[in-house]
Structure 1
């Protein structure tokens, strides 16, 4: 789900061209990105791409071809995978599970009734990411020469941490949580830019990458990062999904600017204590000091392993061999050029 800060970041976010990120490393929330591929890369009836054995391949398709396009833009992606989620997230995980089970039931009903629009909608809502899909994703990225980092906890927190210690230029995710975790810069839509169909409508829109800088956001709002976290807690996070009933993001901003933090707002009677059914300090701590580590994995592009890519995509999952070979040639050229651009970018800082 992530925290919905859209209304208060609108004035500071800006479109960013992929070329503006040429030569820069971007730490990417892998799970978030793979879910985007699973939702967006579909057959005409809304069902995901599958191989001859009925196994889903949408995520592999997106990771291979879209990542190549990103590298061709001169960007060095670092994919960060989730570890064990915090215990506080269990309620949100269970909610998502129930939502997917409900979507699966409605999907079966829509198939029986031949409702095309409903099939597409519920097929996307029912998407699941299995352990096997995760491991294959890591294997493909490694074969492509793309840096892969295993987070001890949440991937988004680790991607933000990598950015906060300047091992990447920005963190990439569709969620705004990266800002709460301390990312200096958040890039959205990096893996799904281009024309996309709006949910449940026969309308296509142009999706462009967006950049949000934490320092600019905090300055614009007149708050600090801890206060931004308190705003998120009031409207609901993955650790307290319901937030405080009746409080939206703009109201939360007003309250925190007036009282500095949630506890003061409760003390002054602005927020009723009876509406707080979660541990404020514990949730705040999960954002301020999440479980992260300094990566020991390589964070550089490497030469791709053509044999492993062919084995995984063509032999195991029935991808078109000519298309994959063409992709490999593009990838090899892109890696060579991206490494050259990164080297030049690094040299430029000395002149």
Structure 2
């Protein structure tokens, strides 16, 4: 879920762009975030995901394959960063998510059996699970495609932000704003869900474009430091303290931080209201998360035989569609991934 900072981000720190504006840029994508998006979006009308003949879910592979090719054709160089072992701080949130999924699965079955299609679809999305087998298949597919991926020791988003902070990527890519708390100089949103999307529960479609948020511009506009931004996130609620401080929205959180100013005073104020959480540990984790320097970002020529083995032979994808997509990927590799391009800096500076 992550922290919701959207209301606090001013227009001068956020910019909608076309994919082509990011040509030549390496973006470290939160892999789990992207895979969950594919699982949620790529579904049949009744809410069930795409599956092969053995009943194994394939929505994530379809999204990963075709969307990654779209990014490569636009000249974006995606690097997928996978979660490792969840930090102990996240235990309560993970338990809560598990319980919500269990409840959603029960409601989905009831809605499906009674023919309530729209309701069934809603609960099916809420019941999404990403299994170890799905993650391993995703890594195998990326390797076959020649797209680099990184194994994080803990949080993928923290590792992606670290890669961007080091300069090995231009931005961290995620739907969540936590990347900003982890210190990513830029956050790229909507890269894996660009296009027309249906609003939940409504017969309304909206156009979603990629969005870039710059950390320095955000901090300068709000008149705060990154440390204070982390504290705002904790006040609003993070994966490590869901719910945050009761009664505090974005504007109140910003006012509290700017009034108290000193991180120690703010930490003490938050801790007194949230005794069930170790607020200082959460704060320090955002400042210094567990990450690794043991990674290599290298784009390689795609391997059609291996792609076919994974998608067609193992998961029943249409061979003709896969071949056409492979040719697009192969061309994108030669034109964009293998060579160097200078990105458009007119706005980004």
TM-score scaled by structure 1?
Answer: 0.94
Matched residues in 2 for 1:224 and 1:151: separation? 26
Distance apart, 1:266 and its partner CA: 7.3
- For the residues of structure 1 that align with 2:53 and 2:168, how far apart are their CA atoms? 41
1:124-183 deviation per Cα after TM superposition (whole angstroms, max 9, x unaligned): 110100000000000000000000100111000000000001000111000000000010
Matched, 1:285 2:284: yes
**2:10 and 2:221 in contact (8 A); partners too:** no
Query: Helix, strand or coil for the counterpart of 2:245?
Result: coil
1:88 aligned partner: 89
By how many angstroms is 1:275 displaced? Answer: 4.2
**Deviations 1:242-278, CA, capped at 9 Å, x for gaps:** 21111111101000011114642576xx768244432
Q: Which of 306, 309, 326 is equivalent to 1:308?
A: 306
Once the two structures are superposed, what CA deviation does each residue of 1:194-238 show, in whole Å capped at 9, x if it has no partner?
001111111111011111000000000000000000001111111
Gaps of 5+ in 2: none
**Superposition deviation, residue 313 in structure 1:** 0.3
Aligned residue among 312, 322, 325 for 1:324: 322
- Displacement of 1:296: 2.7
The two structures have a TM-score, normalised by structure 2, of 0.95
RMSD: 1.6
Structure 1: distance between partners of 2:305 and 2:325: 13
Equivalent-residue separation in structure 1 for 2:186 and 2:266 (angstroms)? 30
CA distance in 1 between counterparts of 2:67 and 2:271 reads 48
| SS at structure 1 position matched to 2:311 | helix
Aligned partner of residue 345 in structure 1, secondary structure? coil
| 1:46 CA drift (Å) | 1.5
Q: Do residues 334 (structure 1) and 335 (structure 2) align?
A: no
1:294 Cα offset (Å): 1.6
Change (3 A) 1:82 1:104: same
Which residue is 2:123 aligned to? 122
Q: Distance in 1 between matches of 2:83 and 2:316?
A: 28
* Mapped partners of 2:33, 2:284: distance in 1: 22
Q: Tell me, what secondary structure is at the counterpart of 2:21?
A: helix
Matched position secondary structure for 1:304: coil
Q: Is the 8 A contact 2:16 2:212 kept in 1?
A: yes
Specify whether residues 275 and 311 from structure 1 end up closer, same or farther in structure 2 by C-alpha distance, changes over 3 A only. closer
1:315 and 1:196 map into 2 onto residues whose CA distance is 31
SS of the residue corresponding to residue 221 of structure 2 reads helix
Change (3 A) 1:274 1:73: closer
Residue matched to 1:178? 179
What pairs up with 1:1-351 in 2 under 5 angstroms? Answer: 1-11=1-11, 12-261=13-262, 263-265=264-266, 273-297=272-296, 299-339=297-337, 342-345=339-342
Say if 1:230 and 1:261, in contact at 8 Å, map to a contact too.
no
Give secondary structure in 1 for the equivalent of 2:150: strand
Alpha-carbon distance in 2 for matches of 1:300, 1:10: 35
Q: CA deviation at 1:20?
A: 1.1
CA deviation after TM superposition for structure 1 residue 189, in Å: 0.2
Residues in 2 aligned to 1:137 and 1:191: alpha-carbon distance in whole angstroms? 15
Counterpart-to-counterpart distance in 2, 1:198 and 1:236: 25
Partner SS, residue 330 of structure 2: helix
